[in-house]
């Protein structure tokens, strides 16, 4: 695996692949790689000729109340994992390379769809930071496709809409949620969970799945199901950000006649914010968060 720090050099390396018509896939990450990230690399390798992984802790997508400098940075270990899985190239720029004129005057990419609800409501400016950095990575790498984890369902929805709005010739591919043996969705932020909380945090997944099963059985009391799930989480001492039943195609609040549904949730432990989801297609009963992996 070759590692590149500069835009000029990664573009130069990729140009012959583009000219030969080889399919290039990009997996954007912020590092601290876990099994979920590795599964995205594997998925990219299976459907493309060249796989590029990026590692960049993007300060632009961190809210004022979040600690960008405390985000786990495990670069050497990440490189070992990428080499072991057969990633072709790693693009690991610094802030100066990605934002040469500083953040204050950085041009922004704003996607107004889906960004003022759910995670966007509690993390103002977050998705503007995501769409800005992802659009820059797309411009640098010029991939044919890019793979994102479905754990952050709202994020992939926003990116798909951005790609459509900006007429970008890039296929956005969703990668299944990977879970720890007890069901907790893998996340780089799981390292922040305190040891005494760890046995209880699976309540988020369990509560969302319970709502999903109720929906699959015909229960359409969306508000009641959301309240019950929130209560269950709060009883274990966690703060609920949101539990919401939505249309999985539009992310609008679910309507009685909707067949494509998703239950999304976010909660706070003492030191971490966790998210998860459960997709329901009523014509086919239920399907665990889009071909979920354990």
Q: Tens digit of pLDDT for each residue in 132-156? A: 999 999 999 999 999 999 999 999 9
Angle among Cα 23, 25, 31 to the nearest 5 degrees reads 160
* Residue 184 pLDDT exceeds 50: yes
Query: What is the rounded CA–CA span in Å between residue 285 and residue 259?
Result: 10
Closest-CA residue to 98 (of 6, 163, 214, 200): 6
* Residue 290 pLDDT exceeds 50: no
DSSP result, 272-290: -EEEEEEEEEGGG-B-TTT
Report the mean per-residue pLDDT for the chain. 94
**77-93 tens-digit pLDDT:** 999 999 999 999 999 99
* Residue 250 pLDDT exceeds 90: yes
pLDDT of residue 67: 77
Sorted by where each starts, the structural domains of the chain and their CATH numbers stand as 2-175 (3.40.50.620), 188-284 (3.30.1300.10)
Query: What is the rounded CA–CA span in Å between residue 187 and residue 120?
Result: 19
Do you know the residue count of the chain?
A: 294
- State pTM to two decimals: 0.92
**94-130 tens-digit pLDDT:** 999 999 999 999 999 999 988 999 999 989 889 999 9
pLDDT of residue 70: 82
DSSP result, the chain: -EEE-SHHHHHHHHHHHHHTT--EEEEEE-S---HHHHHHHHHHHHH-SEEEEEE---GGGS-TTS-GGGS---HHHHHHHHHHHT--EEE---HHHH-TT-STT-------TT-SSTHHHHSTTHHHHHHHHHHHHHHHH--SEEEEETTSHHHHHHHHHHHHHTT---EEEEEPPBB-TTSPBP-GGGGGS-TTTGGGTTHHHHHHHHHHHHHHTT---HHHHHHHHHHHHHHTTPEEEEEEEEETTT-PBP-TT--EEEEEEEEE-SS-EEEEEEEEEGGG-B-TTTT-B-
* Residue 43 pLDDT exceeds 80: yes
Residues belonging to the active site: 37
């Amino acid at each position: 695996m070759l590692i590149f720090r500069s835009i000029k050099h990664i573009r130069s390396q990729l140009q012959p692949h583009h000219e030969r018509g080889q399919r290039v896939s990009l997996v954007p990450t912020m590092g601290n790689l876990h099994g979920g990230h590795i599964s995205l690399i594997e998925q990219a390798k299976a459907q493309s000729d060249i796989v590029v992984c990026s590692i960049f802790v993007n300060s632009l997508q961190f809210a004022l109340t979040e600690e960008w400098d405390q985000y786990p940075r495990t670069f050497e270990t990440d490189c070992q994992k990428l080499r072991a899985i057969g990633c072709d190239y790693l693009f690991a720029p610094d802030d100066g390379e990605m934002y040469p004129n500083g953040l204050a005057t950085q041009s922004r990419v704003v996607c107004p769809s889906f960004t003022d609800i759910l995670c966007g409501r509690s993390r103002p400016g977050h998705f503007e930071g995501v769409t800005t950095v992802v659009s820059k990575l797309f411009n640098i790498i010029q991939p044919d496709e890019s793979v994102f984890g479905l754990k952050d369902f709202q994020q992939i929805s926003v990116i798909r809409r951005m790609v459509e709005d900006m007429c970008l010739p890039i296929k956005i591919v969703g990668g299944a949620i990977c879970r720890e043996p007890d069901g907790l969705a893998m996340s780089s932020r799981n390292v922040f969970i305190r040891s005494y909380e760890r046995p209880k945090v699976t309540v988020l997944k369990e509560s969302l799945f319970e709502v999903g099963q109720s929906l699959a059985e015909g229960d359409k009391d969306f508000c009641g199901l959301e309240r019950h799930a929130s209560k269950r989480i709060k009883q274990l001492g966690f703060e609920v950000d949101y539990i919401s039943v939505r249309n999985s195609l539009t992310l609008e609040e679910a309507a009685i006649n909707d067949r494509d549904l998703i239950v999304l949730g976010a909660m706070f432990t003492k030191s971490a914010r966790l998210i998860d989801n459960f997709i329901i297609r009523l014509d086919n009963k239920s399907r665990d968060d889009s071909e979920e992996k354990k």
